[in-house]
Amino acid sequence: MVGVSEFSTVVLAASDVVEPRMCNLAVGQVGSLIQRCAESRPVEWPVLSRYARNRAQRKLYSSDCQVIHSVVRSSDGEELATGHIAPHPVYMKVHLFDLPQTAYKHALEAQYYLHEQVRLNVIDAALMILTHPNTVTLGRHADPSHIIDSHALEQRGWAIHRVDRGGDITWHGPGQLVAYPILPLDRSSLTVRALICLLSNALRATLAEYGITAHWEDETPGVWVDQDKIAAIGLRIARRVTRHGISLNVSPDLSAYEMIVPCGLHTRGVTSMQHVLETELSMQNVRNTLTDALLNELPFSSVERFANLPDISMVTV
């Protein structure tokens, strides 16, 4: 049980005022205390991501997507630090697969394999970072009419996959980074909402490193620069373990999105880091920045790196 002093520390940390939505996003045991406090008095909560902490920055990446694990003051009363709140300390070793361009089908098979490995507690967690050749995927509730010209896609040799993630239709391809975190929600003491916020934080932290200001939208989920989507999140939770993940447009040919109605949104656009900055970017540098941001945001204590897909010869998708 979290003691009164720890709860008081969280309350005292609310000196920087942002959107008062923390009680919907609290993680671990402190959640019920925050909820009771919010019901008795209006309290507004700051966001300090673990990525910002690790860079010795006190920066709010967003005012509308917030996660606080725990918040403490330093001895001088000025700086804030964060740590993961859970019934017991969480020490998760992540198997990081830093992969070259990989066919979507093979990456999906690997996700299913790693999902089972995590579910059975053979490994703590997995994270895949990669790119795909031109591929269109449709989520569980996608409208097939959002493929504008399926014949043209077939002529171009693009793969089309109906998958079990949330969301509508999207494109993956060269110039876009994709990350698939495979996490046990219960063992990591994360809610689905909290995980989405941490992924959003990592994406916005990456963009901030390049001077791009982005925001999260609840009604049209994703990371946006003004009115254009620059990064997407689509997850599947099966047996309390996650699949699928995030995509970030670094330097893709944006004309690819003319073949579909991205995310089923007719009135919004799509952009990329290169388009916003009007300069060429190193894909490897952005990959390194995003990887670091994800490793800092997610509850990982150590990393084992792999350069190839796991052996999935026994897996059937």
Integer Cα distance of 204 and 213 in angstroms: 7
Determine the 3-state secondary structure of 260 from DSSP.
Answer: strand
Pair 27, 46: CB distance under 8 Å: no
The H-or-E segment that residue 95 falls in is strand 93-98
Residue 59 CA to residue 304 CA, distance in Å, equals 29
222: three-class secondary structure by DSSP: strand
In the beta sheet, which residues pair with residue 304? Answer: 95
**61 neighbors 83 (Cβ within 8 angstroms):** no
| Helical packing angle, 283-297 and 192-209, nearest 10° | 140
- Start-to-end CA distance of the chain, whole Å, equals 42
Cβ atoms of 29 and 1 closer than 8 Å: yes
Q: How far apart are CA 142 and CA 145, in angstroms?
A: 9
CA torsion through residues 91, 120, 244, 189, sign: negative
Distance CA 51, CA 206 (A): 10
Q: Which of 110, 141, 152, 144 is nearest to 127 (CA)?
A: 110
Partners of 46 in the β-ladder: none
Enzyme catalytic residues? 263
Q: Is the dihedral of CA 68, 69, 70, 73 positive or negative?
A: negative
Record the tokens describing residue 312, joined without a space: 């999935």
